């Protein structure tokens, strides 16, 4: 598992989160006038995964249950294709959010039932790492029972993964929704991530074989006077150094509703504060895909332009991960 972590966190590469659930993918398709069918989802995923040159920039891809079972137009399974490009196969193993009676006004992530059996099946398909997402809202704090319940479930999922020699990517996402400040987000990340890391250690999970996927300390989407990249970076790094043990295998950042430009600016500022106790990179979804999906629109004649745009967005994220991004690169690629 340590070798897998090292490969995933390789300098100069990032991780694509292509694990949107079918309802989420369908919603994004419908907004652009793309028919929300299984075949169109397959076509879109093939467009992303077969983009020429992408193997230079991606160490891994997180797939969804439907995606890991799909094939290219030539009949090659997506996991086999990724493996042929030396890209590691990941899989989303949680089953979304649920409300439980003992947690009022809070949501926890489900999916523990039958998890071991599912993880075993996914490993047989080629998966070597697995992601589980939980969510927290700024302002919940230590006393919120949903955070504690989610931490317990994240630890149990991580334990199951490691029993099957699969690297767990633990994602306690502090949501960007609301009018909160970057300072508020910093506090929420410290509280949430500290509880999760403590629970992982109490459960005997080997942190060196875990990757933490985390939000950045950004202002809420509706906040007035949102924090700039330097402030986001300072608060993010301080929060993680406070909450995350140095033994963590790696830290990857989600884009979490940020625009593509905002996400890379903030990542770039975080990278410029290196060295950090753990290797860092990105695991973006919408920040990489939103422009690509809008360019493609479900039409084959747009595929080449969409793939070129995808490669460019990934390359910009890679530049940001090394602290070498500049806004002028947006204009000139």
Q: Which residues are catalytic?
A: 171, 213
Query: What letter does residue 103 receive in the DSSP assignment?
Result: S
Contact predicate 16/314, CB 8 Å: yes
Contact predicate 55/10, CB 8 Å: no
Dist CA 13 CA 314 (whole Å): 9
Q: Name the phi and psi angles at 323, rounded to 5.
A: 75, 15
Contact predicate 132/212, CB 8 Å: no
Query: Within the chain, where are the H helices?
Result: 2-8, 22-31, 38-49, 65-68, 78-84, 115-125, 145-163, 182-202, 229-243, 260-271, 286-296, 303-321, 328-332
């Amino acid at each position: 598992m340590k070798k897998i972590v090292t490969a995933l966190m390789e300098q100069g590469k990032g991780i694509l989160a292509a694990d949107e659930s079918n309802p989420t993918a369908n919603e994004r398709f419908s907004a652009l006038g793309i028919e929300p069918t299984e075949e169109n989802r397959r076509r879109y995923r093939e467009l992303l995964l077969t983009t020429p040159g992408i193997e230079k920039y991606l160490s891994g891809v997180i797939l969804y249950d439907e995606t890991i079972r799909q094939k290219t137009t030539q009949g090659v399974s997506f996991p086999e294709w990724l493996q042929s490009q030396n890209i590691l196969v990941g899989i989303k193993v949680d089953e979304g959010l649920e409300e439980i009676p003992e947690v009022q006004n809070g949501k926890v992530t489900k999916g523990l039932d039958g998890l071991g059996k599912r993880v075993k099946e996914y490993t047989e398909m080629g998966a070597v790492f697995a992601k589980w997402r939980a969510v927290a809202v700024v302002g919940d704090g230590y006393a919120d029972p949903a955070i504690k319940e989610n931490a317990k479930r994240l630890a149990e999922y991580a334990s199951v993964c490691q029993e099957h020699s699969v690297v767990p990517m633990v994602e306690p996402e502090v949501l960007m929704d609301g009018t909160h400040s970057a300072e508020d987000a910093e506090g929420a990340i410290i509280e949430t991530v500290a509880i999760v890391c403590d629970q992982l250690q109490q459960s005997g999970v080997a942190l060196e074989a875990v990757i933490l996927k985390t939000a950045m300390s950004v202002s809420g989407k509706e906040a007035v006077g949102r924090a700039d990249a330097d402030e986001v970076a300072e608060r993010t790094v301080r929060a993680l150094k406070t909450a995350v043990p140095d033994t963590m295998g790696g830290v990857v950042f989600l884009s979490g509703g940020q625009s593509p430009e905002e996400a890379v600016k903030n990542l770039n500022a975080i990278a410029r504060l290196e060295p950090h106790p753990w290797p860092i990179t990105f695991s973006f979804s919408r920040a990489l895909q939103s422009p690509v999906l809008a360019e493609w629109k479900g039409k084959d004649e747009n595929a080449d332009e969409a793939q070129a745009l995808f490669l460019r967005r990934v390359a910009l994220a890679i530049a940001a991960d090394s602290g070498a991004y500049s806004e002028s690169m947006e204009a000139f690629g």
